Amino acid sequence: MLSQYLFFFLSFVAVFSALLVIIDKNPVHSVLYLIVTFFSIAGHYFLLNAQFLAAVHIIVYAGAIMVLFLYVIMMLNLNKEIEPHKKNIPKVIAVVSACLLMMVFVATLKGAETTMLTSAKNSNVGLVENLGKVLFNEYMLPFELSSVLFLAGMVGAVFLSKKEIH
């Protein structure tokens, strides 16, 4: 019962702050709302008893990526005065593509089974030991492939940031 209320509360916070991310004019405020969204999503993971996922979500998204977002936005010092005038055509394109994406989501969710929320409460899938076993047994290949992908990304970043020596 309590988890039900918590679920609705967290969902409300997540959706509301996600809306504020795009509504708020100030980019720094948007980033802060996005952090709130991430925290409420981490709360959802906790409700699903996926503690590891929740902690990693906070560490990686709220703790590292959003800090970098905030860092860049602070560095750029965006404000209304220097904001370039935007044309209307990109806005129309953005709205149309967002609507298309929405349609895709709706279509996929319509076909999905509705599972009970409470069924995940007592499962221990999200705990570290189980997650590790699953990752390194059943999903060994995708896991290693994704790590190779990350490595490639890192090498690319280093290569791009390196000054060319003539």
Partner 1 sequence: MIAFIIYKSILVFVVFLVSLGIAAYSTYAERKVAAFMQDRVGPDRAGPFGILQPIADGIKMFMKEEIIPTVSNKFLFVLGPSLAMLTALMTGVVIPWGGDLSFGGQVYPLQITDINIGILYVFGVVSIGVYGIMIGGWASNNKYSMLGALRASSQMISYEIAMGLAIVALVMKTGTLSLGEIVNQQNGDWWNICYQPLGFLIFLICAFAETNRAPFDLPECETELVGGYHTEYSSMKLGFYLFAEYINIFISAAIMSSLYFGGYNIPFQHLIPVGPNILAFLQVGFFFSKIIFFIFFFMWVRWTIPRFRYDQLMNLGWKIMIPLAIFNILATGIMMFALGKV
* Contact residues for partner 1, defined by CB under 8 A: 28, 32, 35, 51-52, 55-56, 58-59, 62-64, 67-68, 70-71, 74-75, 127-128
Q: How far is the CB of 29 from partner 1 (least distance, A)?
A: 8
Q: How far is the CB of 108 from partner 1 (least distance, A)?
A: 31
Q: How far is the CB of 82 from partner 1 (least distance, A)?
A: 16
Nearer to partner 1, 149 or 154 (CB): 154
Nearer to partner 1, 74 or 140 (CB): 74
CB-based contacts of 60-65 (< 8 A; 24+ apart in sequence):
62/35, 62/38
In the block, residue with structure tokens 């904001």 = 83
In the block, residue with structure tokens 């977002």 = 69
Nearer to partner 1, 21 or 63 (CB): 63
Nearer to partner 1, 13 or 28 (CB): 28
Q: Report how far residue 82's alpha carbon sits from residue 23's, in angstroms, rounded to the nearest whole number.
A: 19
Q: How far is the CB of 58 from partner 1 (least distance, A)?
A: 4
Question: Is the CA virtual torsion 55, 18, 147, 145 positive or negative?
Answer: positive
Return the axis-axis angle of helices 27-47 and 66-76, rounded to nearest 10°. 180
Please give the DSSP secondary-structure letter assigned to residue 65. Answer: I
Q: How far is the CB of 140 from partner 1 (least distance, A)?
A: 16
Nearer to partner 1, 6 or 28 (CB): 28
Dihedral (Cα; 128, 132, 133, 136), 10-degree rounding? 180
